[in-house]
Structure 1
């Protein structure tokens, strides 16, 4: 019995610590979207990329963080879904009823986050895709992995074809003899509007709250469009998380040599592919059409490889330092990931938007990493003391209570 409890504890610590690293890592890229116009996240040409130092900061984020921490978070969402299913079944409850109630409330949290706090919400996306992923909960790990890779590849191909066609047509604008020249000029003209949109965003987010809210209400369809645009990335990642939970990878059950082998198999090619995509953007002068192709399509394979490799390396780190005080704090941050994610949005928008400190567009990329590190410290400092006294983070408790229709026990 004690061995079983210890194995369960080790499994949960591994998952919690991975989630802690993921929720902190997501901020390393989101910090740009909090502090600068939206397109600055995709291309430094749009904003915050004037100097070699700025370009170097963009490259660091693109290679090391962009999509990898979000990918890890998506994988862990799939794993957590199965963990809750297993608990429901063990307790004689209907896992479907519990899951869909949780997703319904998560969708409402996500829409509230989008409209009232920050446009970069992923909670609504996770709720929508989580409803689909639940249908695959009984699949064996090997089957989940095969389908996840097939769907992910399909997504990369479709987005690359769609945006690649725009790039090809846009390049035809430079050839007057091309029958696509006129269409190419129209495509280029559409992307040239980005500069004007950047100026509008600077004015909007440096101003008061109500115009920002009004702008979000005018784009109410965006969360739903986001689901369609990223379905073939998010669903495969959740399925992969379900598989890696079932086969013991995410719970630390593999031998250390297997984790090292996984990291060495996927990290070098993932880094090389990501560097290649980054070089193509730099070589184009960060042309908007090239940047969008890179972000939406070309970077996908490298991101996936690096995400899996990161997971393997982090699990090795967590196993080696499981008893250390800092890993305990990272695990606590992961246990309160929902509160930390939404709390980060509140803190960052207060720092950068006009109704707060008004620093939007005024902080360079390197300094943003210092602000990011400060927020990481805040997550690590508050999460453990809170969870020493309470069973859940504040928003975790609220979500759990709403999904179950009654207040849940809170104190330890």
Structure 2
């Protein structure tokens, strides 16, 4: 470990906390669609509900500026945080793997519980799996990390691209099944709405099938490659000192990333609207432009916020974001709890009834609530409730061993 890395591990980087808080807020802007509308509406805006006027504008806002962008930021920060955590232990002469593996184990269990009990879109299980996979790469040079990340991103795109190229070879039954995933018939939509508005048991039966798919098939085909790549990018950013670079470098980089990222996202929008979100064009190929463009936009957001922080602008806002970021795990689960109570039958049962523009009103309200909650919680406690529990559980094997001795 060089002197630069050792010096960085001694201190907590407030910039990472602010960025993490920014990412948690942005994630809600997309997740609320999965909580409040049938599953297909997340990837296909024409699958359910009104898609004109203010609702169309609300979808465009979320797609262009939020979809996949904040998940990418969060994954990059997870990679950087993993590296910092391990460096701190190793700087003290400790073996970092047992503690890291324990943290990922408990995060995995929390992800399983979150996915099956609350919401199928859980990311924690995937992060735990990828966190274990990228651990051995933490000592690689930044250039090697970036090259590997690019290769992994290419692999993550292969299933969709191969499927797109071979669509004409699929039999009619398979095509019909895929088409119903993209644009479900009325019976499928009605069954999903009734399930989520119904009892917890009905919700569980609906949710558990999707959660199993997300944490197995989708994980292996797509998420493990993409998320691991993003974590490696986060490690590389930390190693080259992006979080402490000069302001001019950050601003110029942000503008360059935005230009490239929004160009790809914009072309993807044109492509999908040109083909009227048709199954044969948009189901597999149409989303790939945003999948890649979102990474550049995410990098743009990171560099822009770091530039603003280094200029000392909006200090109060970044302090609030840092508090929220220090409680990222608690706030992420809190979002799910609140949305479950709002949209599912265990609460108000608003699933399928809230239009896209109305979802934004809820998002803004929850953003304010979580900023205030994090601020006042950390005035009374040193860590968020789930962060405290995660830390205690991660130490548990060593504590038990110490008592036994």
The two structures share one fold, judged by TM-score above 0.5: yes
Q: CA deviation at 1:393?
A: 0.4
What does residue range 120-269 of structure 1 map to in structure 2 within 5 Å?
A: 120-156=121-157, 158-165=158-165, 168-169=167-168, 183=171, 186-188=174-176, 190-192=178-180, 194-195=184-185, 196-219=187-210, 221-222=212-213, 223-228=215-220, 229-249=222-242, 251=243, 253-269=244-260
Mean CA deviation greater in 307-316 or 86-95? 86-95
RMSD between aligned alpha carbons?
2.4
Alpha-carbon distance between aligned partners in 2 of 1:153 and 1:301, rounded to the nearest angstrom: 10
Q: CA deviation at 1:11?
A: 5.6
Q: CA deviation at 1:388?
A: 2.2
Q: 1:349 aligns with which of 330, 337, 340?
A: 340
Q: CA deviation at 1:50?
A: 3.3
| 1:242-277 Cα shifts (integer Å, max 9, x gaps) | 11111111x2x1111111121122211211110111
- Number of aligned positions between the proteins: 390
Determine the structure 2 residue equivalent to 1:98: 99
Q: CA deviation at 1:357?
A: 0.7
Determine the structure 2 residue equivalent to 1:57: 58
Q: CA deviation at 1:75?
A: 0.2
Q: 2:263 aligns with which of 269, 272, 279?
A: 272
Alpha-carbon distance between aligned partners in 1 of 2:380 and 2:19, rounded to the nearest angstrom: 22
Determine the structure 2 residue equivalent to 1:23: 24
Q: CA deviation at 1:206?
A: 1.1
Structure 1 runs not aligned, ≥5 long: 170-179
Distance 1:403 1:322, change over 3 A: farther
TM-score by length of 2: 0.90
Alpha-carbon distance between aligned partners in 2 of 1:395 and 1:295, rounded to the nearest angstrom: 38
| 1:309-344 Cα shifts (integer Å, max 9, x gaps) | 111111112223367222111100000000000010
Determine the structure 2 residue equivalent to 1:175: none
Distance 1:323 1:287, change over 3 A: closer
Alpha-carbon distance between aligned partners in 2 of 1:318 and 1:8, rounded to the nearest angstrom: 20
Q: Check conservation: 2:121, 2:211, Cα contact below 8 A.
A: no
Q: Check conservation: 2:23, 2:74, Cα contact below 8 A.
A: yes
| 1:99-138 Cα shifts (integer Å, max 9, x gaps) | 1100000000000000111111000000011110101011
Determine the structure 1 residue equivalent to 2:13: 12
Q: Check conservation: 1:160, 1:298, Cα contact below 8 A.
A: no
Q: CA deviation at 1:92?
A: 2.9
Structure 2 runs not aligned, ≥5 long: 400-405
Q: 1:313 aligns with which of 304, 314, 317?
A: 304
What does residue range 328-347 of structure 1 map to in structure 2 within 5 Å?
A: 328-347=319-338
Distance 1:401 1:220, change over 3 A: same
User: Is 1:404 aligned to 2:405, yes or no?
Assistant: no
| 1:357-383 Cα shifts (integer Å, max 9, x gaps) | 111111111110110011111111011
Query: Which secondary structure does the structure 2 equivalent of 1:119 belong to?
Result: coil
Alpha-carbon distance between aligned partners in 2 of 1:80 and 1:322, rounded to the nearest angstrom: 24
Q: 2:360 aligns with which of 348, 366, 369?
A: 369
Distance 1:369 1:10, change over 3 A: farther
Q: Check conservation: 1:17, 1:318, Cα contact below 8 A.
A: no
